[in-house]
Amino acid sequence: MVTLADLQVRQLGECRHISPLGKYVAARETNDHYVDENDRVLFDDTLRLVAAHGVPLAELPTLEPGGPRQKIFFPPGATRAGIVTCGGLCPGLNDVIRGLVMELNIHYEVSDVVGFRNGYAGLVPESGLEPIALTPERVAKINMQGGTVLGTSRGAQDPEVMVDRLVELGIDILFVIGGDGSMRGASRIAAVARHRGLAISVIGIPKTIDNDIPFIGQSFGFQTAFTVAAQSIAAAQVEAQSAINGIGLVQLMGRHAGFIACYAALANHHADFVLIPEVPFGLDGDSGFLAALERRVAERGSAVVVVAEGAGQDLLTDVRATDASGNKRLGDIGRYLEARMQGHYRSLGRELTLKYIKPSYSIRAVPAKAFDSVYCVRLAQAAAHAGMAGRTDMVVGRRHNRFVHVPIDTVVSHGNTVAPDGDLWLSVLESTAQPAEMR
């Protein structure tokens, strides 16, 4: 159970400088544009969950609200910021970079913003990757393209060396855009700076296309990802319906969480089966997946199967290798299911037409769609507000439709997954009419 202590955000020191954002509220009778420093956002949103803590109101787990403060820690016009993007690609990376540069430069008078190239490797001098200057003119149109203009990479670097580099370049605020591994790296950078007594703010903007980071609502790029994924499911249905005993198999992202598979399937109701990491399934026997698939094809003439990349790993030969980020390499569940489905129909002596679609890289590379573009800009603004106010070792996100600050240690303490007994998975079962259990 999360406690109030788990949600306390570190601060570099007292905020003494008047925020330049005052010009936006100068004509108002009240300063409603600013965040009340004494306000908090409730972590839980139901009476049952609140009551379960059994503590007084002041001790309930609450989050620090995001947004601009009347007074800030870093002096406007005399602050230098750095931005780094880490890990895999995701729609919206360039939108976040652009949003940060615009907010810092135009509203906080931070004209010196640099981008570190190719992830954390760009913070290590021996890589030879010099940072690039990020100006409003340089980033003006980057939101119209996919990927990240800064480049990215996987893998950790020595935090002591990275802090040395930040000191050498005079960086006051480092914005890290990445997944849970990148956030752990950001926390290590913040810890080294804190140990040395350095007033360096480290602000994380969580990026995970799988939507598997907890406590922050949806991750940026997620809506774009499942929208594009839904188009692949629609294509699979067309292929399946146009063939004898047609099956469309679509493998989507989702190492540990099946959110994209679930949402994409719900977006158009074309999927007959959705297979995700959180819900184990078996293939053989009358109650297994292959028999259920056979019955569905017999009833409707075709079927569409959506599978998350991390689903059914227990069915595959153990894969022990890891990638540069330390993640276990997954077996190819899509190819395995393709082979098993073909083998099943051969054993029945029946014709099968199977189309396998794996659109992961084309999904990751697209520019953000309108909703995500807006979300990215607002996350970037919230991150800039937090950094200028001297917060550190934290991420920005949205909970209960409010922008909030969450300590990195809490965010990476566990993953966000689809609850097998939750309402999202029930919606999937209702939409697909697949058996609740296939074992």
Express each pLDDT in 399-433 by its tens digit: 999 999 999 999 999 889 999 999 999 999 999 99
pLDDT band at 318 (very low <50, low <70, confident <90, very high): low
Q: Does 439 reside within a domain?
A: no
Q: Does 407 reside within a domain?
A: no
Cα-based torsion angle of the residue sequence 92, 98, 103, 105 in order, rounded to the nearest 10 degrees: 160
Q: Quote the pLDDT of residue 419.
A: 96
**Cα angle at 389 between 384 and 391, to 5 degrees?**
90
Q: Any idea how long the chain is?
A: 439
Express each pLDDT in 122-174 by its tens digit: 999 999 999 999 999 999 999 999 999 999 998 889 999 999 999 999 999 99
Q: Quote the pLDDT of residue 223.
A: 95
Mark whether 227 and 215 lie in a shared domain. Answer: no
Q: Quote the pLDDT of residue 34.
A: 84
Which distant-in-sequence residues (6+ apart) come within 8 Å of 71 by Cβ? 15, 16, 17, 18, 19
Both structure tokens of 187: 């926390």
User: pLDDT at residue 26 above 60?
Assistant: no
33 vs 380, residue with greater confidence: 380
Mark whether 24 and 77 lie in a shared domain. Answer: yes
Both structure tokens of 113: 């913003």
Mark whether 319 and 201 lie in a shared domain. Answer: no
Sign of CA dihedral 201, 207, 211, 213: negative
User: pLDDT at residue 317 above 80?
Assistant: no
Mark whether 215 and 231 lie in a shared domain. Answer: no
Residue 242 belongs to domain with CATH number: 3.40.50.460
User: pLDDT at residue 32 above 80?
Assistant: no
Q: Do the beta carbons of residue 355 and residue 248 sit within 8 Å?
A: yes
User: pLDDT at residue 228 above 80?
Assistant: yes
Number of domains the chain is built from = 2
Secondary structure in 3-state letters for 38-74: CCCEECCCCHHHHHHHCCCHHHCCEEEECCCCCEECC
CB-based burial label for 419 (10 Å; 0-12, 13-18, 19+): exposed
Q: Quote the pLDDT of residue 37.
A: 85
Active-site residues: which are they? 210
Q: Quote the pLDDT of residue 309.
A: 96
Express each pLDDT in 47-61 by its tens digit: 999 999 999 999 999
Q: Does 197 reside within a domain?
A: yes
Does residue 11 sit in helix, strand or coil?
strand
Domain that holds residue 256: 222-365+420-432
Which distant-in-sequence residues (6+ apart) come within 8 Å of 53 by Cβ? 1, 44, 59, 60, 61
Q: What whole-number distance in Å separates Cα of residue 177 and Cα of residue 157?
A: 16
Q: Does 404 reside within a domain?
A: no
Q: Quote the pLDDT of residue 218.
A: 87
Mark whether 111 and 233 lie in a shared domain. Answer: no
Sign of CA dihedral 227, 231, 234, 236: negative
Q: Quote the pLDDT of residue 320.
A: 58
Both structure tokens of 379: 């996350």
Q: What is the mean pLDDT of the chain?
A: 93
Q: Quote the pLDDT of residue 376.
A: 97
Which distant-in-sequence residues (6+ apart) come within 8 Å of 105 by Cβ? 111, 113, 135, 136
Q: Does 405 reside within a domain?
A: no
Question: How many other C-beta atoms can be found within 10 angstroms of the C-beta atom of residue 329?
Answer: 9
Q: Quote the pLDDT of residue 173.
A: 98
Q: What whole-number distance in Å separates Cα of residue 396 and Cα of residue 412?
A: 13
User: pLDDT at residue 319 above 60?
Assistant: no
pLDDT band at 25 (very low <50, low <70, confident <90, very high): low
Q: Please give the average per-residue pLDDT across 381-404, as a whole number.
A: 96
Both structure tokens of 74: 């870093």
Q: In Å, how far from its chain's centre is CA 374?
A: 15
Q: Quote the pLDDT of residue 337.
A: 97
Residue 157 belongs to domain with CATH number: 3.40.50.450
pLDDT band at 28 (very low <50, low <70, confident <90, very high): low
Q: Does 140 reside within a domain?
A: yes
Q: Does 235 reside within a domain?
A: yes
Does residue 302 sit in helix, strand or coil?
strand
Express each pLDDT in 242-282 by its tens digit: 999 999 999 999 999 999 999 999 999 999 999 999 999 99
Which distant-in-sequence residues (6+ apart) come within 8 Å of 300 by Cβ? 272
Mark whether 290 and 393 lie in a shared domain. Answer: no
Express each pLDDT in 78-136 by its tens digit: 999 999 999 999 999 999 999 999 999 999 999 999 999 999 999 999 999 999 999 99
Express each pLDDT in 249-258 by its tens digit: 999 999 999 9
Q: Quote the pLDDT of residue 155.
A: 86
